[in-house]
C-alpha cells in the first residue's frame, strides 16, 4: 500500500433543503487503500482518539486517530470502508452514511461491537439505551456482552406503556423521543448508543431523558461522527466516544 497521504477537505455547506440531514466532506485520501465493494468513495475516514470515561471530550484531528489504545488498530479502517456513502439521500446535498453495508461485513460488524464492548465492559454500566432506529442495531449486542439491560428510546407514540418524553429542536421544527416509565431506576449508570451524531440533538434529548429520572449517563457512543455539525459541542460536558468520522 502506498504510504503517501493526501488530504481532501470540503467545508460544510448547509443546504437549504436539509432539515436534520447535513452533508460535508473532511477526510484524508489514501491511494491504493483496499475498500469494500460497497464503498463509493476511495477514502478512509478520520478517526477519533479514545478517552477514558473520566475524560469529557475528544477532538478530531487531521492525523488519523484510532478508537482503540493501539494506534495501529486495523479494525477502524475496515469499519470505515464498510460504511457506504450515498450522495443526495434522503434529500439533495446530503451524504448519507449508510451503516447497512457495515452489517453485511461480518468482520467489520463484529469489530464494531467488540470495540465498544472492550471500552465499556468494566465500567459498571447497567443500562445501554439505544436510540431509534439504528441505535437498536448496535445497542443490544453491546448490552448482552457487558451484562447490561437494553432500553429502547423510541420515536413518539410507538411504546405501548406509560412513557416519559423529551422534545428536542431540529434545524426546522422539533422532534421527540420516549422511554417507558420504570425501564430504568434512579442511580443506574447508562451508556447511550446511536449509529451517528450529526447536530447532537438526538443524543442530547436521550441524555436529558435519562438524567431527568436520575440515571447517570457515563458516556454517549456512536459509530460515526459528522464533526462539522458540532454535535459534540451541543453535548457540552457530556462525554462522547466515536469510532470514525463521516466521509
Ligand X SMILES: O=P(O)(O)OC[C@H]1O[C@H](OP(=O)(O)OP(=O)(O)O)[C@H](O)[C@@H]1O
Ligand Y SMILES: Nc1ncnc2[nH]cnc12
Min dist CB 163 to ligand X, Å, is: 17
How is the chain split among helix, strand and coil, in percent rounded to 5? 25, 30, 50
76 binds, among ligand X, ligand Y, none (CB under 5 to 8 A by kind): none
- Concerning whether 211 is annotated as a catalytic residue, the answer is no
Q: Which residues pair with 26 in a beta bridge?
A: 9
Active site residue 121: no
Dist. CA 42–CA 30, nearest whole Å: 7
Dist CA 214 CA 179 (whole Å): 14
Least Å distance, CB 236 to ligand X, is 14
Q: Is residue 146 at the binding interface for ligand Y, with CB under 6 A as the rule?
A: no
Kind and range of the H or E run holding 222: strand 216-225
Q: Which of the residues 95 through 134 are near ligand Y (CB under 6 A)?
A: 95-97
- Of the pair 19, 36, the CB lying nearest ligand Y is at 19
Which residues make Cβ contacts (< 8 Å) with residue 63, sequence separation at least 6? none
Q: How many CA atoms lie within 13 A of 212 on its CB side?
A: 15
Q: Which of the residues 121, 171, 189, 234 is marked catalytic?
A: 171
Instruction: Return the number of the residue (68 or 241) whose C-beta is nearest ligand X.
Output: 241
Dihedral sign of CA atoms 208, 213, 218, 222 in order: negative
Residue 22 or 78 with smaller CB distance to ligand Y: 22
Instruction: Tell me how far, at minimum, the Cβ of 94 lies from ligand Y, in Å.
Output: 5
Q: Does 201 bind ligand X (CB under 6 A)?
A: yes
Q: For 228, which DSSP code?
A: G
| Residue 80 binds ligand Y (CB under 6 A) | no
Per CB under 6 A, which of residues 183..222 are in contact with ligand Y? 196, 198
End-to-end CA separation in angstroms for the chain: 21
Residue ranges binding ligand X (CB under 6 A): 20, 131-134, 194-202, 231
Residue ranges binding ligand Y (CB under 6 A): 20-22, 94-97, 196, 198
Catalytic residues: 134, 171
Amino acid at each position: 500500500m502506498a504510504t503517501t497521504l493526501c488530504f481532501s477537505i470540503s467545508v460544510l455547506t448547509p443546504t437549504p433543503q436539509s432539515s436534520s440531514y447535513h452533508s460535508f466532506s473532511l477526510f484524508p485520501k489514501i491511494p491504493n487503500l483496499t475498500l469494500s465493494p460497497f464503498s463509493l468513495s476511495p477514502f478512509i475516514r478520520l478517526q477519533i482518539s479514545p478517552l477514558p470515561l473520566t475524560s469529557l471530550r475528544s477532538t478530531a484531528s487531521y492525523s488519523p486517530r484510532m478508537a482503540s489504545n493501539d494506534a495501529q488498530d486495523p479494525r477502524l479502517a475496515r469499519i470505515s470502508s464498510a460504511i457506504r456513502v450515498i450522495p443526495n439521500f434522503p434529500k439533495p446535498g446530503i451524504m448519507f452514511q449508510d451503516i447497512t453495508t457495515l452489517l453485511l461485513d461480518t468482520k467489520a460488524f463484529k469489530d464494531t461491537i467488540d470495540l465498544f464492548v472492550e471500552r465499556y465492559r468494566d465500567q459498571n454500566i447497567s443500562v445501554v439505551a439505544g436510540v431509534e432506529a439504528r441505535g437498536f442495531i448496535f445497542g443490544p449486542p453491546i448490552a448482552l456482552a457487558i451484562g447490561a439491560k437494553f432500553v429502547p428510546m423510541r420515536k413518539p407514540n410507538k411504546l405501548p406503556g406509560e412513557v416519559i418524553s423529551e422534545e428536542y429542536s431540529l434545524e426546522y421544527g422539533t422532534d421527540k423521543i420516549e422511554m417507558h416509565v420504570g425501564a430504568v431506576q434512579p442511580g443506574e449508570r447508562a451508556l447511550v448508543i446511536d449509529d451517528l451524531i450529526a447536530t447532537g440533538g438526538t443524543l442530547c434529548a436521550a441524555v436529558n431523558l435519562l438524567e431527568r429520572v436520575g440515571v447517570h449517563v457515563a458516556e454517549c457512543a456512536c459509530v460515526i461522527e459528522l464533526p462539522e455539525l458540532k454535535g459534540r459541542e451541543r453535548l457540552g460536558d457530556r462525554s462522547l466516544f466515536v469510532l470514525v468520522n463521516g466521509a
